[in-house]
Structure 1
Amino acid sequence: MTSINIQNMMADSGVAFGTSGARGLVSQMTDQVCAAYTLAFLQGLNLAEPGRKIALGMDLRPSSPGIVQACAAAIKQAGCETVFCGALPTPALAFYAMSRHIPAIMVTGSHIPFDRNGIKFYRAEGEISKADEAAITQAVVDVAEFAEDGMPPVNSEALKIYKHRYIALFERDLLAGWRVGIYEHSSVARDCLRDILSALGADVISLARTDTFVPIDTEAVSETDRQRGLDWAKEYGLDAIISTDGDGDRPLIADETGNWLRGDIVGLLCARFLGADTVVTPVSCNTAIETSAAFKRVIRTRIGSPYVIAGMEQAEAGGSESVAGFEANGGFLAGNGLQVAGRRLAALPTRDAVLPALVLLAMAKRRNCPLSALTAQLPQRYTASDRLRDFPTAHSQALLASLQSDDAAYQGLWGTALGSVVRRDLTDGLRLIFNNGEIVHLRPSGNAPELRCYAESADAARAQELVRLTLQGIADRYAATR
C-alpha cells in the first residue's frame, strides 16, 4: 500500500481538475494516479460501500483502456463492483447510472488532443459539484499495488437504453426522405448516432471514419472541417451533417449547405422547441438568447457544466417549471419539465450531443424547411470562437490582468477600431463590451494550456475577423517577449 495525499499528487503529477473532471497528459496519468483519483472519489464522497455497483465507461482514445483497468482495480480495492459499459458516449453512461441510481466514472479527455486524457465523475444523482471536487482533492487514500486483470466484460445495457431514449421520443418516420451525413471521425457516438438516425427513417451516409483519434473541438472548427462540410453537402446532396466531439457530449451540426451551426444557437433553438421557460447558459453564449424573448428567464453562469447545473438547480428550486441548460460548445443539459409533442423528456443534466441534433432535424422536418431556415427569425447576432494552443496559463492570466486595468493594453491589440470599452464582465475570464455593440471575451481553458477567444457581432464574417485579429495580436505580443 502507498498512502497518497491527492493535493500533493495533483501538484507532483500535473493531473488536476479542470472545467470538467481530472485531466492531464497521458504520460502523467499513471496507474497509481488514476487509481488514487478513483479511490478519492469513492471514499471522499462516502460511496465506497461493500458491493455497491459503479458504472465505468470510456471513449476511443488509445490510452483509455489502460486507464479503465486502473480505475476498475481501484473500484475492486474499495470493495465495490464494476459495471463496465464499454466504449460509449458520456451522456449514455450518465443516463444509465442515474436511471440505476449508481455512481459512474467516465474515462475521457473529451475534445482535447490525444496525448491527454481525463476522468469524469458522477454521483448517482448526476455530475459531481465543485464542493464534491473539493472533497476529492482533500482526500488521502491508500493505493494497493496495481495488478493488471485485463479489461472487464462489457455490459451493453447503458448504450441500449440511451438509444431507446431518443428513438421512443420521436415518431419512427420522422426523418424519412432525408439524407443525413455522420462525420464519424473517432467519435465514440458514431455508431450510436447511426442506429438512432436510421431507426427514425434517415438515409445515413458515413463520412471520414477513422481509428486514429481526432480531437474535434466544436467551439473551434478547423478550416479543414469547414471546407469538408461544404464539400460533403454538395457531393452527397445532404440535408444535414451531424457529428460530435470525442466523447459524444458536444454536437457539431451542419445545414444543407454544409455550414456548421454555432452551438449556442443550436441550444437556443433546442430549448425553445422543448418548451423551456428558463434557460441557464454561460456568459460566453450569444446575446440573442435574451433578445429573442423566447424565455421567461435567462441565467448566466461561469463556463463549465458544474456551473450550468448549479444554475439549473437554482432555477428549479425557485419555481421554474421547465428548465434547460446549454453551453457555447452545443452541449445540451435537460432539466425537468421539458416535452416533445406532449411526451415528457426525462431529465439528463449533463452535456448531451444527440438531443440537440435530433431536435433541429425534427424542427426542420415538421416545418418542411431546410435546416438553414431555422435561424431566420432570430436576432442577427453572430458569435465566433477559436483558441491559441500551447499558450501557458500564466501568460493568459497576465494578459487578462493587464487588459482589465490598462486601456493602452487593449488599444495595443485592437487600436481604435472597436471604440471604447463600455463594460468589463469578469464572470469568467474577461469579457469586453464595446460601445459599437461588439464583444470580445478572453478566457484561459480549464482543461489544457490554451487561451480561448469568443467574439460577437451583428455580422458573421466580422465576428470571425474579431477572433482572428485578437488571437493574432496576442500571439505576436507573446512571440515578441520570448
Structure 2
Amino acid sequence: MKVFGSSGVRGVANEELTPEFVGRIAMAAGSVFAATGNERVVLGRDTRTTSELLVDSAAGGLASVGCDVTDIGVLPTPAVQAYAEREEVPALMVTASHNPPEYNGVKLIGANGIELVRDTLEQVEDRLLTERFATVQWDQTGHRRRVESARHSYIDEILAAVDRDRIADAEVTVALDPGHGAGVLTSPRLFRELGCSVVTVNAQADGHFPGRDPEPVETNLADLRRLVTTTDADLGIAHDGDADRAIFVDERGEHIEGDAAFAALAAAELEPGDVTVSAVNVSQRLVDVVEACGASLERTPIGSTNIVTQIQKLTAEGESVPIAGEGNGGVLFPEYRLSRDGAYTAARFCELLADRTASEIALDHAGYVNVRRNVSYEDDVERERLLDVIEETAREENTDLDTTDGYRLDYGDSWVLVRPSGTEPIIRIYAEAYEHDRAAELADWMRTVLLDAI
C-alpha cells in the first residue's frame, strides 16, 4: 500500500499530514464504512498539539459522506478500540503513537474494535487515491456529538478483567510515567483503583511532550528510573503517546527490556499446545519460553496489524492464542481484546509481583543483549539505494536469511535485522546476542554499510 503503513498513516503535522489530507482520508474511510452499513463513526485523539485540528478535519470529512460522528475526546488508542467494539461502530483515531511531537497520524479501526485488516485498508486507499468519495447532498450530511463516558467505561472494563485482589494484596507502589500522552487521563486512576500506591512523573497532558519524547525507550526514561528509586516503588511503568504500550523499570530503578517483560508475561500465560505470535524481530527470550512451555511461535512482518491478522487466522483455525505481541511493549491478550493495551498489560505485570520482585521476574529472562541503531534517509531515491545495499550485503553473508520483513541474518548465537520503518524516513537495525559487544558489532557493521552508501 502507498499510503497506509504498518500502523496507519503518519507524517509531520501541517506539512505531510495536512488538515486537507486528513479530511480526504476520513472521506475515503467514511465512504467504505457507509457502504457496509456503518453510518456512524467514532473519533478519538491523543494529546498532540495538532490532534484537535486534525480531528476537526476528520469530522468534516466523515460528515460530508453522510456519517454521524461520535467524538469521545482525548483517550488512549485501546480505549477508542474498546468503545468501538462496545458500540459496534468503526473508529478513526488521530495519533502518532510513539513518534516525535511534530508528527501526527491516523489509525482506522473496525466496528469490532480491531485495526482494519489489509483488504479493507486497500479499499480505503483506493478511494483516497482515486478520490471516489461517496459525498451526499447538503440535507444528508452527518452530525457530530460529544460523549464523555468512554474513559470511565474503559477503566471499568480493565478492572473487571484483571485479578484486583491479587494486585491489592501485593501492596504495590507504582511509579507511573504516561509521558504527557493520553494515558495521563486513564492510567493513574486505574492503578489507584487496583489498590496500588501511585506516584507520577510527566503526568500532565501536553502535546509538546516537555518531559520526554513519546517513545518509552530506555534513554527517555531517566525521570522514571529516578522516581522509582527515590520513592521506593516496586515497579515503574511508562507509556507511549497513545498508551497502547507499556515499558517497565524494576524496583532498583533499572530498565527491564521489553522483550524480557513480554517473555515473562508469556511464561505466565502459555500452556502446551498454545500458539503465540510475534514479529520477525522476536527475541530469543520468547523463543526459549515457547519451547519450555511446549507451545509454538508464528512470526509476522513488524507491525501490530500484521500480528492481529495472523492471530485472527490462527483463531479461525481453532488454535489457542492467549498472548502475542512485540518486545517494544506492545502486547496483546486476545482473550481479553484483540488490541495492544498498555494499561491492561501493566496491570497483568502487576499480578506477577504478588510472588516476586520485578528484578527477579526480569532475571528469569536475562542472558541476551539487544542493540538498536537507526539510519535516516532524505528521499525515496536514497531509500531505494539503501535497500539495494542491504539486500546485496545480506545475500553475500553465509548464514540463515529471513526476508519476512526486511533482512534478518541469523548466526546461531546472534542475529541482526535491517528494515525500513513503516512510519518514519528511517532504516532500523536490530541486533541481539549473548554479549553486548557482539550485538553492537553486528548493529554497527550494518550501520556503517548503510552510511557508506549515502
Instruction: Give the TM interval when normalised to the shorter protein.
Output: 0.7 to 0.9
C-alpha distance 196-463 of structure 1, shift in aligned 2 (>3 A): farther
SS in structure 2 of the partner of residue 431 of structure 1: strand
Name the residue aligned to 1:311.
Answer: 310
C-alpha distance 451-322 of structure 1, shift in aligned 2 (>3 A): closer
1:441 aligns with 2:435: no
Question: d(CA) in 2 for partners of 1:475 and 1:463?
Answer: 19
C-alpha distance 396-433 of structure 1, shift in aligned 2 (>3 A): farther
TM-score by structure 2 length?
A: 0.87
Q: Give aligned-pair identity as a percent.
A: 23
Q: Which moved more, 1:421-430 or 1:89-98?
A: 421-430
1:231-263 CA-partner distances (Å, limit 9, x unpaired): 332222221111111011121211112222222
C-alpha distance 406-472 of structure 1, shift in aligned 2 (>3 A): closer
C-alpha distance 382-328 of structure 1, shift in aligned 2 (>3 A): same
1:45-73 CA-partner distances (Å, limit 9, x unpaired): 544758x3211100000000011111111
Amino acid at match of 1:361: C
Q: Which moved more, 1:463-472 or 1:170-179?
A: 463-472
Q: Report the alpha carbon displacement of residue 155 of structure 1 after superposing the two structures with TM.
A: 1.4
Question: d(CA) in 1 for partners of 2:54 and 2:438?
Answer: 40
Query: For residues 127-276 of structure 1, what are the structure 2 equivalents within 5 Å?
Result: 127-139=115-127, 140-141=132-133, 154-168=146-160, 169-172=162-165, 174-175=167-168, 177-210=171-204, 211=206, 212-213=208-209, 214-218=212-216, 220-222=217-219, 225-275=220-270
Name the residue aligned to 1:355.
Answer: 344
Q: Which moved more, 1:225-234 or 1:196-205?
A: 225-234
TM-score by structure 1 length?
A: 0.82
Q: Report the alpha carbon displacement of residue 396 of structure 1 after superposing the two structures with TM.
A: 4.5
SS in structure 2 of the partner of residue 112 of structure 1: coil
SS in structure 1 of the partner of residue 133 of structure 2: strand
Query: For residues 92-131 of structure 1, what are the structure 2 equivalents within 5 Å?
Result: 92-125=79-112, 126-131=114-119
Q: Is the 8 A contact 1:19 1:447 kept in 2?
A: yes
Question: d(CA) in 2 for partners of 1:144 and 1:388?
Answer: 46
Amino acid at match of 1:108: T
Question: Which is helix-richer, 1 or 2?
Answer: 2
Q: Report the alpha carbon displacement of residue 39 of structure 1 after superposing the two structures with TM.
A: 1.4
For this pair of structures, how many residues does the alignment match? 435
Q: Is the 8 A contact 2:167 2:194 kept in 1?
A: yes
Query: For residues 368-383 of structure 1, what are the structure 2 equivalents within 5 Å?
Result: 369-378=356-365, 380-383=367-370
Q: Is the 8 A contact 2:429 2:447 kept in 1?
A: no
1:290 aligns with 2:265: no
SS in structure 2 of the partner of residue 138 of structure 1: helix
Q: Report the alpha carbon displacement of residue 471 of structure 1 after superposing the two structures with TM.
A: 6.5
Name the residue aligned to 1:429.
Answer: 406
Q: Is the 8 A contact 1:166 1:355 kept in 2?
A: yes
SS in structure 1 of the partner of residue 448 of structure 2: helix
Q: Which moved more, 1:243-252 or 1:463-472?
A: 463-472
Name the residue aligned to 1:281.
Answer: 278
Q: Report the alpha carbon displacement of residue 159 of structure 1 after superposing the two structures with TM.
A: 1.5
Q: Tell me, which stretches of 5 or more residues in structure 1 are unaligned? A: 1-6, 11-15, 337-345, 411-419
Q: Is the 8 A contact 1:173 1:200 kept in 2?
A: no
Question: d(CA) in 2 for partners of 1:33 and 1:221?
Answer: 34
Q: Is the 8 A contact 2:43 2:92 kept in 1?
A: yes
Q: Report the alpha carbon displacement of residue 84 of structure 1 after superposing the two structures with TM.
A: 0.9
Q: Which moved more, 1:226-235 or 1:308-317?
A: 226-235
Amino acid at match of 2:282: C
Question: d(CA) in 1 for partners of 2:164 and 2:387?
Answer: 49
Q: Is the 8 A contact 1:108 1:118 kept in 2?
A: yes
Question: Which is strand-richer, 1 or 2?
Answer: 1
C-alpha distance 283-235 of structure 1, shift in aligned 2 (>3 A): same
Q: Is the 8 A contact 1:385 1:467 kept in 2?
A: no
Amino acid at match of 2:176: I
SS in structure 2 of the partner of residue 174 of structure 1: helix
Q: Report the alpha carbon displacement of residue 102 of structure 1 after superposing the two structures with TM.
A: 0.7
Q: CA RMSD in A?
A: 2.9
Query: For residues 63-82 of structure 1, what are the structure 2 equivalents within 5 Å?
Result: 63-82=50-69
Q: Report the alpha carbon displacement of residue 144 of structure 1 after superposing the two structures with TM.
A: 9.1
C-alpha distance 295-43 of structure 1, shift in aligned 2 (>3 A): farther
1:435-458 CA-partner distances (Å, limit 9, x unpaired): 5x2111111100010121111111
Name the residue aligned to 1:385.
Answer: 372
Q: Quick one: which of 406, 416, 433 aligns to 1:457?
A: 433
Q: Report the alpha carbon displacement of residue 172 of structure 1 after superposing the two structures with TM.
A: 4.6
C-alpha distance 450-470 of structure 1, shift in aligned 2 (>3 A): same
Q: Report the alpha carbon displacement of residue 97 of structure 1 after superposing the two structures with TM.
A: 0.5
1:181-225 CA-partner distances (Å, limit 9, x unpaired): 11132121123110111011111111134522353224x432xx3
C-alpha distance 32-421 of structure 1, shift in aligned 2 (>3 A): same
Q: Which runs of 4+ in 1 moved over 6 A?
A: 142-146
Q: Which moved more, 1:57-66 or 1:117-126?
A: 117-126
Name the residue aligned to 2:452.
Answer: 477
Question: d(CA) in 1 for partners of 2:378 and 2:180?
Answer: 26
Name the residue aligned to 1:329.
Answer: 328
C-alpha distance 300-162 of structure 1, shift in aligned 2 (>3 A): same
C-alpha distance 393-470 of structure 1, shift in aligned 2 (>3 A): farther
Q: Report the alpha carbon displacement of residue 287 of structure 1 after superposing the two structures with TM.
A: 2.0
Amino acid at match of 2:213: P
